[in-house]
Structure 1
Amino acid sequence: MNKKLPSTSRSLPIALIRAREGAMAPIRDMLANTGITEQQWRILRVLSEHGSLDSTTLADRASLLFPSLTRIAAKMREKGLITQTRDEADRRRQLIEITAKGQKFIDDHAERAALVVVGFRTRLGDDNYEKLLDLLALLDPGPRD
């Protein structure tokens, strides 16, 4: 046993992974049988909240690697959930926007997603919920908004 390392039960990276799994379980349940992945849900949520975004900004805000976004966006275009166009001012930039079908998916699942948040707030308490978000933001490598 290495005395320099904390116990795995007190390891921040391991605790964050466990917490992520706990936080994502109700989202996975919500998305089961919809044909929408967790990553696609995040993309739709970000686009619904922020409107049209360039690919780099969207990847950052949806916490995706750029190559993953490229692959996922292609599938989402095929499903009619997003559109992707070239920026007229800078032809190298791709702009991605949610479609009416993508927004309908968000709208149709907003109530259940809100109940997930209520569950977390109930479990943690409002103050701890907000404090946890603030503490996690301290570990964020860069701004998202």
Structure 2
Amino acid sequence: MREFSRSLPMSLLRAREAVMRQFRPSLRDHGLTEQQWRILRALAAVDTIEVTELARVAFLLGPSLSRILRDLEARHLIERRVVKADQRRGLVSISAKGVRLIETVAPSSEAIYAAITRRYGARRLRELQDMLHELEGTLSALNKGGGTGEDGEFE
């Protein structure tokens, strides 16, 4: 078994934490958690989305998402309603206040991205994002077919 610190999941977690350390202070300044921001960003990209689909695209478990949506709704940053044909299904959209908050946070977020890009390099960052996208696609295809990696190990 490979060294723990060199395992892919740990490397990805350390890189994610290094990136999020750059963004957390700005989010805190705007009264947001990273999960709340992730939801608002996902909602800004669509008109309306079902709660179950939002959980999938924002990588959040249902119970966590329910709590976060309740908080965002109480702050009037999102709007929720039920599907008329099926009262069990919920729809979510970003409110005008939520859009204004994104517009307020965006300059700070873009400044952080610019600093990361300057430090790491635009070409390297683009290549990293391309490689991560390719890795995600490869592993998604592997999950559909089942099995292990090339070396037969699971992490």
Range class of TM-score, shorter chain = 0.7 to 0.9
CA displacement 1:27-70 (0-9 Å, x = unmatched): 10101243211110100011112221110111111111122111
Tell me the distance in 2 between the aligned counterparts of 1:87 and 1:96.
10
Of the candidates 32, 52, 55, which is equivalent to residue 56 of structure 1? 52
**How many pairs are equivalent?**
138
Instruction: Tell me the residue number matched to 1:123.
Output: 119
Q: Alignment RMSD, CA only? A: 1.7
Is 2:73 the partner of 1:77?
A: yes
User: In structure 2, the residue corresponding to 1:32 is in which secondary structure?
Assistant: helix
Tell me the distance in 2 between the aligned counterparts of 1:75 and 1:13.
31
Question: Where do 4+ consecutive residues of structure 1 move more than 6 Å?
Answer: none
Is 2:136 the partner of 1:139?
A: yes
Q: Does the CA-based 8 Å contact 2:55-2:61 persist in structure 1?
A: yes
Instruction: Tell me the residue number matched to 1:34.
Output: 30
The offset of 1:9, in angstroms, is 3.6
- What is the identity percentage for the equivalent residue pairs of Structure 1 and Structure 2? 39
Stretch of structure 1 that moved more, 26-35 or 43-52: 26-35
Stretch of structure 1 that moved more, 128-137 or 109-118: 128-137
User: In structure 2, the residue corresponding to 1:83 is in which secondary structure?
Assistant: strand
